[in-house]
Amino acid sequence: MSEPIAAVVLRAAELTARGLPLQAIELLRPALVANPLHAEAWCRLAAAHLDAGEPDAAKRALVLGGDQAWAQRLTSLALTELGRHTEALVAARECVRRRPGDWRCQVVLAEALAAGGREPVGRGTATREATGGEAAGREAVEVAREATRLAPTEARPYQVLGDAALRLRDWGTAERAYRTALRLDPDADDVRANLATVRRKRGGAPVTAPSADALGAADALVWPALSRLAALLVAGGLVLTLAALPRPTPLLGWFSAALVAACLAVVARLLLGARGGTRRALLRLPRSRPLVAVVAAAFGLALVVLSGWSVALLLGAGTTQPLVVAWLCALLGGAVVVLRGGR
């Protein structure tokens, strides 16, 4: 019996991920009639109810036994949707207690704290309640920081950290968190909107982070330009190396300078040919495309060394070592371009 229910649970998870929670619920209910003690199936049913906007039904679907951390996490989400923040906070703390190394539990706790759930501050004035709320907000920031430490490559913890910091008016922390979340997930429009809000609150200009389409257009433009740079630097460097034997002359300095000028013309043509958001995306492309960053760094170093060597030749120097270094950097960048498939 375990194999059929396992297959049903897997199919229900796929339906929920595709945005079809009602079909997942219809699939799970008859399976749970035959397997009433299958804890994972109950948790999947609760998750489907949550996605369907039925938090009360989600809470009823949770059972004891099985993965308690998962059950408590879903319970906290359901109670938060119902507005029962204190109970949601209790469930979230229990989730963290059972599985402190799970970043999802930390995220749920941060959300419960930031949503208004806080532990009782005792009988007192409204000032004490406000103080308790501020303490809960600070704790939400710290818990979200822990989630980012546990999952540095996930965008969700950084988004929750930004939301918690935004509630405390900690603009610097919120902006840094939202920027990181956008770098990990460029399609998160809600994060982009919150980042613009933070910048307005700080008195700065709104941030228009490049969209995925702009980054794609920039990527399509940059590789042909990098291919031309590779051809210029590798071929030109090789010709200069051969011409410099056995000893370079000041005349080679002018040819080297011409090679640098040709490379800069390729870069200028790339930047001038891009428009609007694509040009901004070009400047930020190395952050999201590691291969672009590697090639740009190699070609940039080659141009700097080549420029210095040109000036040195014109001043009377007679060494070829900088030229060899520049050519090796160009060769490294050119190899990456070839392996990438640029033509």
Domain assignment of residue 182, yes or no: no
**Containing structural domain, residue 240:** 212-340
Q: Is 187 within a domain?
A: no
Residue at 35 is within a domain: yes
Judge if 169 and 47 occupy the same domain: yes
Whether residues 322 and 219 share a domain: the answer is yes
CA–CA gap between residue 198 and residue 181 (Å, rounded): 14
Q: Is residue 188 part of a domain?
A: no
* Close Cβ partners of 310 (under 8 Å, ≥ 6 residues apart): 253, 254, 256, 257, 260
Which CATH number fits the domain that encloses residue 146? 1.25.40.10
The position carrying tokens 């079909």 is: 23
pLDDT in tens, 131-162: 456 777 788 888 888 888 888 889 888 998 98
Assigned domain for 160 exists: yes
Same domain for 318 and 261: yes
Please say whether the beta carbons of 73 and 105 come within 8 A. Answer: yes
Structure-token pair, residue 203: 């008195």
**Domain annotation covers residue 190:** no
> Residue 84 has which token pair?
């029962």
What's the rounded Cα separation, in Å, for the pair 72 and 154? 22
Indicate the number of domains in the chain: 2
Same domain, 258 and 139: no
Instruction: Assess if residue 198 is contained within a domain.
Output: no
Structure tokens at 297: 């760094």
Distance of CA 99 to the CA centre of its chain: 24
- Tell whether 120 and 255 lie within a shared domain: no
What does the pLDDT look like over 239-287, one tens digit per residue? 988 888 888 888 888 999 999 999 999 999 888 877 766 777 777 788 8
Q: For residue 98, give Cα distances in angstroms to 67, 101, 154, 263.
A: 10, 9, 22, 59
Measure the N-to-C terminal CA separation of the chain; round to a whole number of Å.
57
Same domain as 234, residue 159: no
Q: Are 154 and 258 found together in one domain?
A: no
Looking at the structure, tell me whether residues 229 and 138 fall in a common domain: no
pLDDT on residue 124: 45
Last residue of a domain, one of 175, 196, 230: 175
Last residue of a domain, one of 175, 199, 229: 175
Q: Angle of helix 250-273 relative to helix 290-314, nearest 10 degrees? A: 150
The residues, ordered by sequence, that sit 6+ positions from 300 with a Cβ below 8 Å of its Cβ are none
- The reply to whether 109 and 221 lie within a common domain is no
Query: Which of 151-165, 188-202, 225-239 is least confident?
Result: 188-202
The per-residue pLDDT for range 81-125, each reduced to its tens digit, is 656 667 667 777 877 787 778 888 888 888 888 776 444 434 443
The residue count for the chain? 343
| pTM (two decimals) | 0.45
For residues 125 and 239, state if they share a domain: no
